[in-house]
A and B are shown apart, each in its own frame.
Chain A
Amino acid sequence: MKPVFTRTATLKDCPTHYCAGCGHGIAHRLIAEAIDELDIRGRTIGIAPVGCAVLAYNYLDVDMIEVAHGRAPAVATGMKRTNPDKIIFSYQGDGDLAAIGTGEIIHAAHRGEQITVIFINNAVFGMTGGQMAPTTVLGQVTATTPQGRKPVGEGYPLQVSELLAILPGAIYVERCSVHNPAQVRKAKKAIKHAFELQLNGAQGLSLVEVLSPCPVYWRMTPVKAMEWIKKEMTKVFPLGRLKG
Chain B
Amino acid sequence: MCGNEALAEAAIIAGLDAYFGYPITPQNEISAYMSKRMPEEGRVFLQSESELAAINMVFGASATGKRTMTTSSSPGISLMQEGISYLAGAELPAVVVNVMRGGPGLGNIAPSQGDYFQATRGGGHGDYRTIVFGPSSVQELVDCMPLAFDLADQYRMTVVVLADGILGQMMEPIVFERKPRRKLPPKDWALTGAKGREQNIVRSLWLGDRVLEEHNYKLQAKYEQVQKNEVLCEQYEVETAEIVVVAYGVAARMVRAAVDRAREQGIKVGWIRPITLWPFPTEQISKAADEFRIFLTVEMSNGQMVEDIKLAAAGKTPVLFFGRPGGGIPSVDEILERIRQLTIPAKR
**Chain A residues at the B interface, C-beta cutoff of 8 Å:** 41-45, 47, 54-55, 57, 61-68, 71, 74-79, 81-83, 86, 103-104, 107, 110
Contacts and interface: CB of A to CB of B under 8 A. Distances in A.
A82 B50 CA distance: 19
Secondary structure at the B interface, as helix, strand, loop or mixed, is: mixed
B205 interface: yes
A110 B194 CA distance: 30
Of B46, B60, B66, B195, the most chain A CB neighbours within 10 A belong to B60
Given A44-B193, A63-B200, A65-B60, A103 B82 contact: no
Interface in B35-87: 44, 46, 48-50, 52-54, 56-64, 66, 68, 82-83, 86
B68 A78 contact: yes
Nearest to A50: B205
A82 B64 contact: yes
B201 interface: yes
B343 to A, nearest CB: 53
B265 interface: no
B204 A57 contact: no
A68 B56 contact: yes
Contact of A74 (B56, B193, B200, B202): B56
B18 interface: yes
A65 B193 contact: no
Given A42-B194, A45-B191, A74 B203 contact: no
Given A61-B199, A66-B204, A103-B53, A79 B82 contact: no
A71 B56 contact: yes
Contacts of A68: 56, 59, 82-83, 86
30 contacts: A41-B194, A54-B205, A55-B205, A61-B199, A62-B193, A63-B191, A63-B193, A64-B200, A64-B202, A65-B191, A65-B202, A66-B90, A66-B205, A71-B52, A74-B53, A74-B56, A74-B57, A75-B59, A77-B48, A78-B18, A78-B60, A78-B61, A78-B68, A79-B191, A82-B18, A82-B66, A86-B192, A86-B193, A103-B50, A107-B53
Contacts of B58: 78
A63 B86 contact: no
B280 interface: no
A75 B56 contact: yes
Contact of B53 (A63, A64, A71): A71
Q: Across chains A and B, which 3 residue pairs bring their CB atoms closest together, nearest first?
A: A78-B60, A42-B195, A78-B57
B46 A77 contact: yes
Nearest to A85: B193
B196 interface: yes
A81 B191 contact: no
A82 B86 contact: no
B202 A66 contact: yes
Nearest to B190: A63
Contacts of A71: 52-53, 56, 59, 83
User: Main SS of the interface on chain A?
Assistant: helix
B17 interface: yes
B20 to A, nearest CB: 7
Interface in B240-277: none
Interface of B: 17-18, 20, 44, 46, 48-50, 52-54, 56-64, 66, 68, 82-83, 86, 90, 191-196, 199-205
Contacts of A64: 191, 199-202
Nearest to B195: A42
Contacts, number: 131
Given A42-B196, A82-B17, A82-B64, A65 B201 contact: yes
A83 B64 CA distance: 8
B63 A74 contact: no
A103 B86 CA distance: 19
Contact of B60 (A41, A62, A74): A74
Contacts of A81: 18, 44, 46, 57, 61
A61 B194 contact: yes
Contacts of A82: 17-18, 44, 60-61, 64, 66, 68
A212 B346 CA distance: 84
B59 A63 contact: no
B242 to A, nearest CB: 51
Residue from A54, A55, A77, A82 with most neighbouring chain B CB atoms (10 Å): A82
Contacts of A75: 56-57, 59-60, 63
A45 B194 CA distance: 8
B23 to A, nearest CB: 15
Nearest to A86: B193
Nearest to A17: B207
Contacts of B52: 71, 74, 103-104
Nearest to B54: A74
Contacts of B192: 63, 83, 86
Interface centre among A68, A104, A110 (most CB of B within 10 A): A68
Given A75-B57, A81-B44, A57 B203 contact: yes
